[in-house]
A and B are shown apart, each in its own frame.
Chain A
Amino acid sequence: MENKLIASSSPHIRSNETTQGLMLDVIIAMLPALVASVFYFGFNSVVLVVASVISAVITEYICNKLMKKSVSIGDLSAVVTGILLAFNIPASAPWWLPVMGSVFAIAIVKQIFGGIGFNIVNPALAGRAFLMSSWSTHMTGGFIDPVTDAVSAATPLTLIKGGSTGQLPSIFDMLLGNIPGCIGETSAILIILGGLYLIYRGTIKWIIPVFYIGTVAVLALIFDGGSMALYHLFGGGLMLGAFFMATDYATSPITDKGKIIYAVGAGALTILIRKIGGYPEGVSYSILLMNVITPLINKYVTPNVFGVAGGKNEK
């Protein structure tokens, strides 16, 4: 029996939380919004999500093989990226659009840097930015209006940007998702529900969503007043961004204090872009920018080591 005993170093037990389990939670949290998008925009949203997920997983597999690493698709993070990317695309887009985005997101943004945990920016958001710059007509020209089924409807934020606030849908419709928009950014309420599930499960912490959304709310109130502030909150990808993208582990700060700085920064940038930038939407670029600053925040905002100068001695 002697030789068969494992003599490894302590600790000898591990929690049953796994990377795969965490990613599965994220997937579960996104499902309600996906179902809603089929309801509002039709079956093509499922086609896009499936195409996106499959290409993300295949790309990851091929990258693993080419880079002679162990196959990592089992951790489900590629699936999460695939869904998130498709969530950022209008439901009328052709199937190859998310495929392009996924290949870019996984190969260039994630795997080249070393795979999960090593990417500098959020792969899904970088994939979206890539699609915006390459096929902007597909990305911004084809929003479906769930009420009339007309394509190329302007999103609430484009209306605000263009000054046509009279044509804005009701806040109630915005909450439900009965408005033109990307696949995953329509039903604010279902996204929030998914986000709350993740917080409840401990998969993400509340800090980033609360400070991010809070900052946007306060600034929108200051700049645009009460009624418009609600459109800023529930229109566009704010909820999706705040709960599902800004909370990405690898690209957001690791300490609580760092998370606050990051979330407030992202909120301020979002309003800045919406108010004076060229885009009606500001969530994805603001998160991407904060992603880039994250290593810096991680470097300077660190926990106070117990018993090292700075710790109070209450003796």
Chain B
Amino acid sequence: MSTKLFTFKGGVHPPTNKTLTQNVPIENAVDPKVVVIPLSQHIGAPCDPLVAVGDTVKVGQKIGESKAFMSVPVHSSVSGTVKKIEQHYVPNGSKVNCIVIESDGNFEVYESVQPKGNIEDLTKEEILSIIKEGGMAGMGGATFPTHIKLSPPKDKPIDVLLVNGAECEPYLTADHRIMLEKPELVLLGVKAIMKALGVDKCFIGIEKNKPDAIEIIQKAVEGQEGIEVAPLEIKYPQGDEKRIINAITGRIVPSGGLPMEVGCVVENVGTVATIGNIFKTGMPLIQRVVTVSGSAVQNPKNLYVRIGTSYKDVIEQCGGYKEEPGKLISGGPMMGFAQFTDEVSVIKGTSGILAFSKKEADLGEPSNCIMCGRCLEACPVHLQPYKISRYSIQKNFDAADEFHAADCIECGGCSYICPSKRPLKETISVAKKEILARRRKVK
């Protein structure tokens, strides 16, 4: 292992608060009595239901699918009876069609769920189809359909796979625990993806605050040609796709471009391990590791939760609320979504559930920008957040565009660091949305 640490320019160092759960082994969540499984848990076309009210289903059975290319199927996480198909809120704040299944408590596995055999014996196409049929979408939170990421156009040759084990969001330890407890699944997933992409180089980037994970993954990949661990500096947002590419390979993804333009594909380590699990057991993505933490949670834990379980049930298993929460977050504190209810379902992208006390939820009142320049230094894209934010507030979106508001990755570093507590990312996001909407119109 080289002692060199990889990193990028910019970024912030929020308190990681990971000690709450980093040494807590993954625990199976209590079996849910009812699951509410959204038919859209990914970016792209929502699925159509394949089952009707009254049907019985089994664990791993496909219950939703779309004909669109930009979509992934969803599967049942329990065995039981379909009770309803109706609209529910999902953690990103939208309302989507969901299949409500009452569990019979038996967890009978669907017949077609079978190990997929050796990766060496499978073709590229077979691997991609298994990944798609497994319901894979990016589990770091972005939920981009995995098979699409792994099928770049012919004119964009990929030469390196980057596995993101940075887990730079504070509080979250799900990926950390996966690396510690399931290194063989990570390796299996890596091999599958490398074969699908036809690449012979893979770096697994891990922040150096997880020395145990670095060691275990290093051991797991020992002797595997082309697979290497890349220790990363501890910095947020080290796990952002373009930052991790820049840190490890030195390549710069052009503004508005995708990683494939510089020959890279980045997959989150949780996604990779789940892919490994699909090949090993045949079980599609119906369960995921979720970090449940925050100042208002009684016993913070890492839980292996069935998709469709309600946040409320998950928090109850962690001893419930320690005090009345002021904020409930789906994902990490830097980029996660605040929820207005705990009656939403865990979905494929739910990396964490955080409950903050009223005190922790209070972010203070914004005051004048004092031009301290901290937001510029924090911005991993090297934007001028204070300026773009000002233009956005003035609704001068042309000026915001001129200063590359659309390149903002919404990491929140600027808002985090601002001593005047200005809502920088929040206002820049507004400008970004507006600018992208206009561009679409022009096209």
Contact = CB atoms under 8 A, between A and B. Distances in A.
Do the two chains bind?
yes
Interface of A: 1-15, 17-19, 21-22, 72, 75, 77, 114-118, 249-250, 254-255, 302-308, 311-315
A306 B416 contact: no
B376 interface: yes
Nearest to A20: B419
Among A5, A303, A311, residue most surrounded by chain B Cβ atoms (within 10 Å): A5
Closest 4 CB pairs of A and B: A11-B412, A307-B255, A303-B382, A314-B250
Given A4-B324, A5-B341, A11 B416 contact: yes
Interface stretch (B61-69, B197-205, B213-221, B363-371): B363-371
Nearest to B365: A70
A8 B429 contact: no
Contact of B252 (A10, A117, A307): A307
Given A11-B415, A18-B419, A254 B334 contact: no
Nearest to B379: A303
A9 B342 CA distance: 17
B322 to A, nearest CB: 13
Interface of B: 12, 14, 170, 242, 246, 249-257, 262-263, 324-329, 333-342, 354, 356, 360-361, 363-364, 367-374, 376, 379-384, 386, 404, 407, 410, 412-413, 415-421, 423, 425-426, 429
Nearest to B386: A254
A53 B384 CA distance: 34
A158 B257 CA distance: 61
Interface of B (DSSP majority class): loop
21 contacts: A6-B326, A7-B338, A9-B429, A10-B338, A11-B335, A12-B329, A12-B338, A14-B363, A14-B418, A15-B14, A15-B419, A18-B364, A117-B368, A117-B370, A250-B370, A254-B371, A303-B383, A306-B242, A306-B255, A307-B253, A308-B254
A9 B252 contact: no
Nearest to B410: A10
Interface centre among A77, A114, A302, A305 (most CB of B within 10 A): A305
A117 B369 contact: yes
Contacts of A6: 326-327, 338, 361
Q: Which residue among B12, B263, B418 has the maximum number of chain A CB atoms within 10 Å of its CB?
A: B418
B419 A22 contact: yes
A1 B358 CA distance: 12
A255 B421 contact: no
A129 to B, nearest CB: 21
Contact of B257 (A15, A118, A307): A307
Contacts of B423: 9
Nearest to A315: B251
A4 B341 CA distance: 9
Given A8-B363, A12-B333, A13-B360, 6 more contacts: A1-B342, A10-B334, A10-B425, A15-B418, A303-B382, A305-B407
A4 to B, nearest CB: 7
